[in-house]
Structure 1
Amino acid sequence: MSMSAYFKERLLFLLLQLMLMTILSGLLILFQVEIYWIGLMFLLWMVPLLFYMMLEYKKEQRFFTSLEELTESLEEKYLLPEVMEKSDLLAEKLFYDVLQDISRDMHEQVKHHREQGKEYREYIETWVHEIKTPMASIGLILENQDIPYKRTIMEEMKKIEDYVEEVLYYARSSHVEKDYIIRELSLEALVKKVVKRNASDFIRKGISLELYLSEDKVYSDSKWLEYILHQILSNALKYTQGKEGKIIISAEKRREQVVLSVKDTGIGILEKDLSRVTEKGFTGENGRVYHRSTGMGLYLVKKLSEQLGLGLEISSKNHQGTLVEILFPLGSYHNGI
């Protein structure tokens, strides 16, 4: 708070004081009081008044400066009412009480919405686990039946399973830390497991696969990492067309990182869309033209990678394929275990 702003706010009060002083001075002149005494009265009136206002300004300046510094030092600004000190000044005391009331109401609202969110996540997780049972039963029935369009039905069932899994991981994505176990993993074993899961799509589309995997170990959660890799590979399969399509999966050490790369020869991503492909719900022009994309796959990949402390880099050129790289920091998890 600047001094000019403080006095400007009280300009009407000062003008009123000057007006009263002028009227009183006029009356004293009418009664033939000497100018000396009128000037002395003016000083005795205005000097204490200005001195008092300066003291008030200093108090308010000190209060608001400390408030600003305290706010800047907090990472979570909403905690300000919890840490600020109560003042003895009436206006500041009222301000403090109002902030406390707002803070209590805010915490109650946050608690209410958190409980609602928790109930919703629990319902979604229960629903997903329940729906998997009849889906598994349908899969077993189809495998043991020789019916028309069996392959087509199985492909559609796989899509449903992927969408159901997407719902589950989205519901859990904000609370990954409660569900993961960091341990040493073999990238080669994990990649082969995900490739096997998508083997039918490779065969159906006639897409070739090349693996260049080392025996490097990384530290992460196998379940979440498997989902991340599955999403990346599913995208590569979805947007790679024709019998000449190829997907290359490789792993290598780069400085202080192990980099897992998934490269395809698919339709690629337009340059104007590349920076937005990890945004929630963003499908891009190719996603709308070639496939019915939900815009959630790469969003979840990015979000879960960040939760697991992994880097993610995506590069692509339209009609020249896409390269997705997952970056594992060497030894960072190992040192923390």
Structure 2
Amino acid sequence: MIKTYLAERRSWLLFFAALQLLLLLIAYLDAAMPLCSVLYIVFLSALCFIGFFIYRYHRETRYYKQLLEWEEQLDLTGLAAAERPFERIAEAALTNQTERLRQSASRHLTMLEQEKDELLSWIHDVKTPLTAMRLMIDRMEDERLKAPLLYEWLRLHLLLDQQLHQKRLPFMENDLLIEQVDLEAVLFAEIKTLQSWCIHKGIGFDMDLEVREVLSDAKWLAFIVRQLLTNAVKYSEASSDVTVVSFVQDGHAVLEIRDTGRGIESKDLPRIFDKGFTSTGHHADGAATGMGLYLARTAAQALHILIGVQSEPGAGSSFTLRFPKRNAFTQMTGM
């Protein structure tokens, strides 16, 4: 702040220095004026000016120091009251601007909440005809027509489910129920949902579950697993297998989902969990939304689950879910 204040008062400092030099120059040129007396006057003036300058520095910068330390949360109550005319001008401008920003933020928040509620209502409304459509597809006898219809129905169902959870994600912590979750039941339920797609591609599942129960939230864990299984089936070659194993590693329960699909480029691995990122090697893939892994990681972070990935192009991908230990989870959540 001292450098800023010196820069602000530079013209005043230069003017004072110029006046003192002018006084010394006159004393030097005018023999009638004793130079020693003038030097003494200049010295006393400089001391008085330095003291006055220090006093004004602390007085004038107090308000602006608080502005620098002010946390921009549209709350001016933490700022000291303005004492000087220019400070009052700044305070009035800040107050007016803050009030406008607060009103604007309130309007936008209301609009976002309304939009979210309308979208959630629309998703729930769409689920009714979607369920009826599934019942009609199940009654079809033509298997050649039934299989592609089931595949497209599943894609639509998964997209709606992803959108629904995306809107719920910011309020996820209000919806958590941490308990012992049957991992096998969650996996079988999600695999059953993808059954028609797997049959269409001829994909099977090889499961070996050493750990059958984990401490987590059943609904959100199912959502995370759904994203990983969907990606595994989507990018696996036809007539291949997806391997699902669970084991204990360093005291942590670990769930691993491996596929033998096209894999992920090494340059893409650090970005696959970024919002909206699809791929650099398959950028023209219009079916990819770049949201599945982002949502899975965001949900996993709230559950203190660590998602890892290993992949090589052409050799498939392996995603792992590393669950927290019970004592660590209890300490983090306060359970």
Coarse TM-score class (shorter-chain normalised)? 0.7 to 0.9
Tell me the equivalent position of 1:175: 171
Tell me the equivalent position of 2:15: 16
Deviations 1:59-118 (A, max 9, x none): 4566666766x56xxxx6537744344465665565555544444443333322222221
Q: 1:223 to 1:27 in 2, by over 3 A?
A: same
Alpha carbons 2:211, 2:247 under 8 Å: kept: no
In structure 1, how many angstroms separate the alpha carbons of the residues matched to 2:255 and 2:278? Answer: 24
Task: Say which SS state the counterpart of residue 176 (structure 2) adopts.
Answer: coil
Deviations 1:148-185 (A, max 9, x none): 72221121111111111111111222221233322221
In structure 2, how many angstroms separate the alpha carbons of the residues matched to 1:87 and 1:150? Answer: 75
In structure 2, how many angstroms separate the alpha carbons of the residues matched to 1:82 and 1:314? Answer: 48
In structure 2, how many angstroms separate the alpha carbons of the residues matched to 1:87 and 1:210? Answer: 71
In structure 1, how many angstroms separate the alpha carbons of the residues matched to 2:283 and 2:43? Answer: 80
Alpha carbons 1:218, 1:330 under 8 Å: kept: no
Tell me the equivalent position of 1:226: 222
Tell me the equivalent position of 1:251: 246
Deviations 1:177-202 (A, max 9, x none): 23332222111111111111112222
What fraction of aligned residue pairs are identical, expressed as a percent?
Answer: 25
**Cα distance, 1:6 vs. partner?**
3.5
Task: Say which SS state the counterpart of residue 271 (structure 1) adopts.
Answer: coil
**Cα distance, 1:248 vs. partner?**
0.7
Residue identity matched to 1:252: F
Q: 1:56 to 1:302 in 2, by over 3 A?
A: same
In structure 2, how many angstroms separate the alpha carbons of the residues matched to 1:26 and 1:235? Answer: 85
Alpha carbons 1:125, 1:168 under 8 Å: kept: yes
Question: Is 1:260 the counterpart of 2:259 in the alignment?
Answer: no
In structure 2, how many angstroms separate the alpha carbons of the residues matched to 1:286 and 1:292? Answer: 14
In structure 2, how many angstroms separate the alpha carbons of the residues matched to 1:162 and 1:215? Answer: 27
**Cα distance, 1:51 vs. partner?**
1.4
Q: TM-score, normalised on structure 1?
A: 0.85
Once superposed, what is the RMSD of the aligned Cα atoms?
Answer: 2.9
Tell me the equivalent position of 1:196: 192
* Aligned pairs (5 A) from 1:277-316: 277-288=272-283, 292-316=287-311
In structure 2, how many angstroms separate the alpha carbons of the residues matched to 1:304 and 1:230? Answer: 12
Q: TM-score, normalised on structure 2?
A: 0.86
In structure 2, how many angstroms separate the alpha carbons of the residues matched to 1:110 and 1:172? Answer: 21
Alpha carbons 2:183, 2:213 under 8 Å: kept: yes
Question: Is 1:130 the counterpart of 2:125 in the alignment?
Answer: yes
Tell me the equivalent position of 2:51: 51
Residue identity matched to 2:201: K
- Of the structure 1 ranges 103-112 and 23-32, higher mean CA displacement relative to structure 2 is found in 23-32
In structure 1, how many angstroms separate the alpha carbons of the residues matched to 2:325 and 2:20? Answer: 79
In structure 2, how many angstroms separate the alpha carbons of the residues matched to 1:200 and 1:286? Answer: 28
Alpha carbons 1:260, 1:327 under 8 Å: kept: yes
Decide which of 321, 325, 328 is 1:330's aligned counterpart: 325
Structure 1: 5+ residue stretches without partners: none
**Cα distance, 1:287 vs. partner?**
4.4
